[in-house]
Amino acid sequence: MILRLVALWAAAAGTLLLHALLGIPGDYLGQGFPLHPGLTVTVPDLALTALATTLPIPLVAALARRFHLRWLALPPIAFLWLWAAMVMIEPFAVDFGTTWRWSEPLRALFLHPVHTPVALLLLLATATWTFTRTRRT
């Protein structure tokens, strides 16, 4: 059970990191953050952000498994991944406009017509695998 939750967390963080490297945060590698030019954008920094922001996903999955709400947990897991994407893109949004509403940076700078659905499908497939029972022999 714990290994499946760790795998879910790794899938969530991995898809978020790969998605970020293909998008705007990946374009800033080796440069400074827009608000803090003295801090360089690196892959380990983006990976740490991805790991930290996706931590609620396995926690929600564990609670859903405990209370037998497995299929009802899939939409919140997808929402938490999108929230983590908003947190990841937020430091870069200032370079593109400061008058945006809360969801505009995510739509304009992060969502991709191919990468985002593939990442979400992979995440939800991993979550479904996490919810399946293991055979006891």
Q: Is the pLDDT of residue 92 over 90?
A: no
pLDDT digits (tens, 9 = 90+) for 112-137: 999 999 999 999 999 998 888 765 65
Q: What's the pLDDT at 69?
A: 85
Whole-angstrom CA distances from 109 to 24, 70, 92 are 6, 32, 9
Q: What is the mean pLDDT of residues 9-20?
A: 95
Radius of gyration of the chain (CA): 16
Across the chain, what does the average pLDDT equal? 90
Gap between the Cα atoms of 130 and 61, Å rounded = 8
9-24: burial string, b at 16+ Cβ within 10 Å, e else: bebbbbbbbbbbeebb
Better-predicted residue by pLDDT, 65 or 17:
17
